[in-house]
Structure 1
Amino acid sequence: MLASFTPALATQRASLRGRAVKPSPSRVAPPRSRPRAAALRTSAKLYENILETIGSTPIIKINKLAPEGVTMYAKAEFFNPCSSVKDRLALAVITDAERRGVLKPGDTVVEATSGNTGIAVAMVCAQRGYECVICMAEPFSVERRKIMRMLGAKVIVTPKAGKGTGMVAKAEELCEKHGWFLCSQFENDANPAFHASTTGPEILSDFAGKRLDYFVTGYGTGGTFQGVGRVLKAARPDVNIVLLEPEAAGLIASGTKTERKPTGAPKGSHPAFTPHPIQGWTPDFIPKVLEDAQAMNLYDELVPITGPESIETAQKLARMEGIFTGISGGASMAGALKVAANAPKGSVILTMLPDTSERYMSTPLYENIAADMDEAELEIAKSTPSFQLLPGEEPVLQM
């Protein structure tokens, strides 16, 4: 079923969902002296359920952040219904389990996650009618827990000291005890297969007849990297694939493998791991899906990314481009900018924006974003006489 997705179908779905299909080079309009008005996104069909809206996410040009002489694009995965790339993974894993007969009506679905996968799994379970239990390590943002609970999931928070391997072990333990279904996102081949049949063909469709020199992505499970990487290497081997990982957790850079259980799950924490703020990227082990991608020689370059530059770039995307993405999106764009700094003139670079900024309100991304008015805002408030709310003073209503 997954293999039936084609570039032509990606184009058709994009058209149905109101996302303009890009014209062929021979029909491209000449440059205009001023920006065109933004086209309204409209829906040309009715959907049977929320899961039908997963995928066909838009690719958006980066205008102000891109250096001169280089063209940059970002695939905005926050256009998925639960605002992250993990919506694809959750649909893939659960649909595959249903097809194989290992997930049946009335079953409980379990996953270990930093949040986005848990939110996506909770959404799919809500629509399909399964009970959902999510195991999530203590440091991840509290708003993710609340979103999962809003979607009907039970959230089991595991101790910070256990790191990612701890939440995975807890999920395995619960499934063994209760006979529940474990998604196993880090080992499940349905994860990269879905990206190979949707995300990759979407990119090929959008760049059909157009230049594309670099594809830049980080990794969580490795599903996006492996699935898209396989498709690009087969269809457009001239594209350079750049893999990103946190500088503080250079697991691939270390050259040390993760020891595994017979299931493919990690036996313990990787020695090169230290905590980092890029939630959704790089757990404290090398996922089996990612290890398999390494064996396929899919990436051409490995680039480290720091937490501060990830946060700074996410904030710049919001303030300069109006693009609202999280720390992992900032990290992806920071990596793309590093590639752009050394790329030949005329290069075209595509990166992934995995999720939305709203999932990071309680993280360092918002540490310097105030809730109260600053001095400049207070001055604006005082510039007219009515409806003033000034610190230490009685509210002023109409004069």
Structure 2
Amino acid sequence: MLCAQRGYTCVITMAEPFSLERRKLMRFLGAKVIITPKSGKGIGMVKKAQELAEAHGWFLARQFEAPANAQFHYETTGHEILNDFKGHRLDYFVQGYGTGGTYGGAGRALREKRPDVKIVLAEPADAALVGSGIKTERRQDGSAASSHPAFKPHPIQGWTPDFVAKVAEEAVETVGYDDHITIPGAGAIQMAHALAKNEGIFTGISGGASIYAAVEMAKRVPEGSVLLAVIADTGERYLSTPLFSSVAIDMDEEEMVISKSTPSYQLG
């Protein structure tokens, strides 16, 4: 959106497994979207972006390494949380990570102003990279050099690529975390469905993962504790993903009965 407003050409590299809606949204806003093979995982799309920037002399945003990422969330998300909970109890901040910007920025704000709040780091069960204790190999510029050995593919798009971003690693080292929880992909999807049907909250798989993590932590912590989790996405980006695989396009039997309960405008 910023590039469209400023008249810049925007080129996005995106790994093949990401939802089709993401490609269409970026292209709708005028961006060029370069798809990288599934076999290359997240590290492949990052390296492709680096190659393109070097070859063409383009600016590379480097969201996985840039300190501005976490700083932005420190100044915005972090202070929004502090303002919302001013004078109110908050015991746990439950947060997953992609680049680590929200975790690092909001986490730092809480450590500074609300040091009593415990931070819980959430990761996919198939990609508990931080929990493995194995460091991500890095190039001199701080970017990941290779895929993390503890990574397995998971459906929680936006969480935990196949490396720990430099921003996330720095957050682990400086902000730290008080507890750690892993989230099954199926559980994240089920929670996203439950949020839509029971709460009217239309979120994607990562939003489902966030609330799943918070609910699981709520079972472990003292009764009456107040937990905070961030829902950072919308379900509209996931129509082509497993999140919607069980959602029918045509009317089911119950809907057909409702349709036939009045005489007009019935499908054959």
Asked whether the two chains share a fold, i.e. TM above 0.5, the reply is yes
Looking at structure 1, the residues matched to 226 and 95 of structure 2 have their Cα atoms a distance apart, in angstroms, of 15
Structure 1 partner of 2:4: 126
1:298, distance to aligned residue in structure 2 (A): 2.4
What letter corresponds to residue 314 of structure 1 in structure 2? A
Q: Does 1:374 align with 2:257?
A: no
Which residue of structure 2 aligns with residue 318 of structure 1?
196
**Where do residues 8-157 of structure 1 align in structure 2 (5 Å cutoff)?**
123-157=1-35
Q: Is the 8 A contact 1:233 1:298 kept in 2?
A: no
User: Which residue does the alignment assign to 2:155?
Assistant: 277
* Cα deviation code 1:164-215 (max 9, x no counterpart): 1111111000011000000000000000001111111111101100011111
Letter of the aligned partner of 1:161 in structure 2? S
Name the SS of the counterpart of 1:182 in structure 2: coil
Q: Secondary structure at the match of 1:211?
A: coil
What amino acid sits opposite 2:254 in the alignment?
A: A
State how far apart, in whole Å, the 2-side matches of 1:242 and 1:128 are. 39
Asked if structure 1 preserves the Cα contact closer than 8 Å seen for 2:111 and 2:175, the reply is no
Candidates 210, 213, 224, aligned match of 2:102:
224
Following superposition, the deviation at residue 128 of structure 1 comes to 2.0
2:59 is aligned, of 157, 163, 181, to 181
Which residue in 1 is equivalent to 2:47? 169
Q: Which amino acid aligns with 1:195?
A: H
Unaligned runs of 5+ in 1: 1-122, 394-399
CA distance in 1, matches of 2:175, 2:28: 41
Q: Counterpart of 2:122 in 1: which secondary structure?
A: strand
Q: Which residue is 2:125 aligned to?
A: 247
Cα deviation digits, residues 44-82 of structure 1 (max 9, x gap): xxxxxxxxxxxxxxxxxxxxxxxxxxxxxxxxxxxxxxx
2:211 alignment partner in structure 1: 333
- Paired with 1:259 and 1:182, the residues of 2 have a C-alpha distance of 21
Distance 1:254 1:260 in 2: 17
8 Å contact 1:213–1:238 — kept in the other structure? yes
Higher Cα Rg: structure 1 or 2? 1
**Residues in 1 aligned to 2:175 and 2:107: alpha-carbon distance in whole angstroms:** 9
- CA shift digits 1:205-245 (9 cap, x unpaired): 01100011111111000000000000001101111111100
Work out the CA distance in 1 between the residues paired with 2:140 and 2:56: 20
Provide the C-alpha distance between the structure 2 equivalents of 1:348 and 1:230, rounded to a whole number of angstroms.
19
Give the equivalent residue in structure 2 for 1:384.
262
Query: Runs ≥4 in structure 1, deviation > 2 angstroms?
Result: none
- 2:86 aligns with 208
Residue 191 of structure 1 aligns with which residue?
69
| 1:92 equivalent in structure 2 | none
Letter in 2 for 1:140: F
Query: What percent of counterpart residues are identical?
Result: 63
- Matching residue's letter, 2:224: G
> 2:230 aligns to what SS in structure 1?
strand
Give the drift of 1:343.
Answer: 1.9
Amino acid at match of 2:153: P
Say whether the 8 Å CA contact 2:104–2:175 is kept in structure 1: no
CA RMSD of aligned residues (A): 0.7
Deviation at 1:369, TM superposition (A): 0.4
